[in-house]
Homo-oligomer: A and B are copies of this chain.
């Protein structure tokens, strides 16, 4: 394993452990980061425990999976001691029923990460918009999300 891959694995384990403590309801939905490096995240959620009245994946879990990508991308690329992420709004479109475990993926470009670092240092906050897709085990897009997030400097 390369040093970079080992560092990414550590970040995945650390992120999931922090979520288990800090946002137990999200952890309880089975939402987990699977890959995380600066500007790129993959997360998953299982059908087991998340089925709805139609036997497909519960809308709230699909939402939680899409929504957390912004927080994970923040954690991957910013000083988590001095800043924290919040979500302002999210639109989720349910395109197909999900009948398997699901996977969500999102990215921020290097230029966007640079902009956010500069703006958050200068203004104490910075905003970004994130598009994401959620796919089932066959790779079919079951939902898309469009979220607006804010990075804010801690008051203390």
Contact = CB atoms under 8 A, between A and B. Distances in A.
Number of copies: 2
Interface in A50-96: 50-54, 58-61, 63-64, 67-68, 71, 84, 86-94
A151 B57 CA distance: 18
Interface residues of A, number: 33
A80 to B, nearest CB: 10
A67 B49 CA distance: 19
A90 B61 contact: no
Contacts of A61: 25, 60
Nearest to A30: B25
Contact of A59 (B51, B53, B58, B87): B87
A23 interface: yes
A34 B100 CA distance: 32
Contacts of A92: 89-91
8 contacts: A23-B52, A26-B52, A26-B58, A59-B90, A60-B64, A63-B64, A88-B93, A89-B91
